A = this chain, B = another copy of it.
Amino acid sequence: LFEVASEHLAASGVAPKANGLERKHAELRPEAKPVSGPEIRARSLHGTPNQSAPVENLLTPEQQETLQRNATLLKYRSGNVVFHESEDAHFLYFIVEGVVRISRSGENGRRQILAFSVPGDLFGIPDAGHYVNSAETVCATQVYRVPWPRMQQLMADEPPLQLHLLAKLGYDLRQAQARIMTLGVQTIPQRLASFLLEFALLPNWFDEEQRYLKLPMNRFDMADYLGTAPESTARAFAKLESEGLVRRVSSRTLEILDIGGLENLRKGHVKRRSSRIPITSDCERG
């Protein structure tokens, strides 16, 4: 699901000292891979139409090590603020483990979760020196962070790193577009099905064996991600359950009973009739 990365948010924070984040320069343990879990994903921008390779533009081990050497590993507990929208952007983050919600507050105060970043994703890309989104942990999370100045220097020294970042951004853009599709043309139950299918792709939270999906976030987060209210989310769950697609083991744990059914629901009927599609394909050729 997502590897998006986007930006920021905030929290009224309490506590600096007593509870802070565990910080330590990433002394690389040779056997430990820098960005754990899902690996550094993201297809190449162009890439050859090589479908077989699921992941492209991967960094070489040396490059990954270089990145790690210049990064700091941070460990957060659940519900912590990594950074808040509008703050000065000093770092770029890579998720090693856990889930981070990237959100933004609308002018009216409503919160929209733009993405749930998972291991392998990056976030913290600024605009004119400021984060534009907020980033908060949804569960215990570890991230690598690299100071922007350092990052820029690394990219200058290693052009391939730029390409890699480019691929990442391209991936995030596609994810965001998928989000737009979901919000623009699907009903709430369909959005929920899409969401569950997205998460079911992540082995971290989906036990292929037992078909158990362990969701790390609460209904409020899900609602804000789906662009709806928590109550509607609950009703959508009830609907999926009544149709035999899933079974609620507990509020955060689901048993996926019919993936094909979920996919059909996602594709399902339209929310509104399709627009006229009268396109002339010809063009002027001089």
Chain B residue numbers with a CB within 8 Å of A29 are none
With contacts A1-B127, A132-B177 known, is A23 near B109, CB below 8 A?
A: no
Chain B CB within 8 A of A61 CB: no
Chain B CB within 8 A of A28 CB: no
Please determine whether B6 and A177 come into contact, CB atoms closer than 8 angstroms.
Answer: yes
Please determine whether A284 and B19 come into contact, CB atoms closer than 8 angstroms.
Answer: yes
Most buried by B among A163, A177, A276: A177
Q: In this complex, what residue of B is CB-closest to A16?
A: B284
Contact of A274 among B45, B110, B132 (CB under 8 A): B110
Docked complex Cα distance between A278 and B163 (Å): 38
Contact of A268 among B56, B108, B148, B186 (CB under 8 A): B108
Please determine whether A170 and B169 come into contact, CB atoms closer than 8 angstroms.
Answer: yes
Chain B residue numbers with a CB within 8 Å of A45 are 125-126
Q: In this complex, what residue of B is CB-closest to A179?
A: B180
Quote the shortest CB–CB distance from A280 to chain B (angstroms): 5
Please determine whether A125 and B173 come into contact, CB atoms closer than 8 angstroms.
Answer: yes
With contacts A45-B126, A170-B125, A186-B106 known, is A282 near B163, CB below 8 A?
A: no
* Interface of chain A residues 150 through 167 with chain B (CB within 8 A): 151-152, 155-156, 159, 162-163, 165-166
